[in-house]
Structure 1
Amino acid sequence: MATHEKRRFSRVSFHAPARLVDAGGHGREVEILDLSMRGALVRLSDGSSPQGALCDPQSRWTLEFSLSEEDRICMEVQPAHWHEQEVGLRCERIDLDSMVHLRSLLEANLGDVDLVNRELMQLVS
């Protein structure tokens, strides 16, 4: 499934600190490695391997990171795959402001507004 998603949605390399928060409010520090309209690939900052809920595709997390002092992206995610210190996260829900910021980030990094628009339309339909 993850391989198919990589083909349908362009990923951009994006390195930034982020936080994964579980339903109980407990957080894990992560580093984002790449982003797409459909999710993110993150590495656990403490160098540990994912375990417990981070290896449960039914668990829900919130991925939070800042683009600037004013602009943040928050998305509800579920683990899709994991290997060593990395976890692939599938975006299940994102608020409108976060989607606008994510879209702008992808447009700037891909340099192809039409491609981002097509991917957004795939996601919505």
Structure 2
Amino acid sequence: MTDSNGPKTETDPQRSFTRIFFDAETVVTQDDHIWPVQLIDISLRGILIQVLPDQKINDNKLVDISIHLGGDIQICMEARVANHRDDKVGLVCEHIDVDSMTHLRRLVELNMGDASLLERELSVLN
């Protein structure tokens, strides 16, 4: 996502991956529950979402995530809860298909603006 001030990213010395502040239609599925959630940020390793009070995500079970980028393009991944504070839930990607990874990589690349940073983050994934 880009605004008049350029791409919005956040880095933390303890994090290996740049977080891109990004807003897209996002759905989390766990067991028989399907919840639309607010996507706050995304990285090559996972996402941060905001949930409503009645959306109770079980921290001990995997969730399926679908992020709709427009048209029929989406990023789908299976993730586990990394942290849960109030209405914010950090999810770490456990599995992502090749097409979704391609879309995610392109999204991060466009928002980082520096291909060498992207390559460094991708090398950490291996």
Cα pair 1:30 1:43 within 8 Å, conserved: yes
Q: CA deviation at 1:107?
A: 0.5
Q: What residue in structure 2 maps to residue 42 of structure 1?
A: 49
Q: What residue in structure 2 maps to residue 11 of structure 1?
A: 19
For 1:98 and 1:48, locate their aligned partners in 2 and report how far apart those are by CA, in whole Å.
Answer: 29
Change (3 A) 1:86 1:49: farther
Q: CA RMSD in A?
A: 1.9
- Which runs of 4 or more aligned residues in structure 1 lie more than 3 Å from their structure 2 counterparts after TM superposition? 49-52
What amino acid maps onto 2:40 in structure 1?
A: L
**Offset from partner CA, 1:67-108 (integer Å, 9 cap, x none):** 111211001000110111110001111000000000000011
Number of residue pairs the alignment of both structures matches: 115
Structure 1 residue aligned with 2:123, among 109, 121, 124? Answer: 121
Q: What residue in structure 1 maps to residue 98 of structure 2?
A: 96
What amino acid maps onto 1:70 in structure 2?
A: D
Whether 1:32 aligns to 2:39 is yes
Q: CA deviation at 1:117?
A: 1.4
SS in 2 for 1:31: strand
Q: CA deviation at 1:28?
A: 1.3
Choose between structure 1 and 2: higher helix proportion: 1
What amino acid maps onto 2:79 in structure 1?
A: V
TM-score (norm 1): 0.84
Q: Which runs of 5+ in 1 are unaligned?
A: none
Choose between structure 1 and 2: higher strand proportion: 2
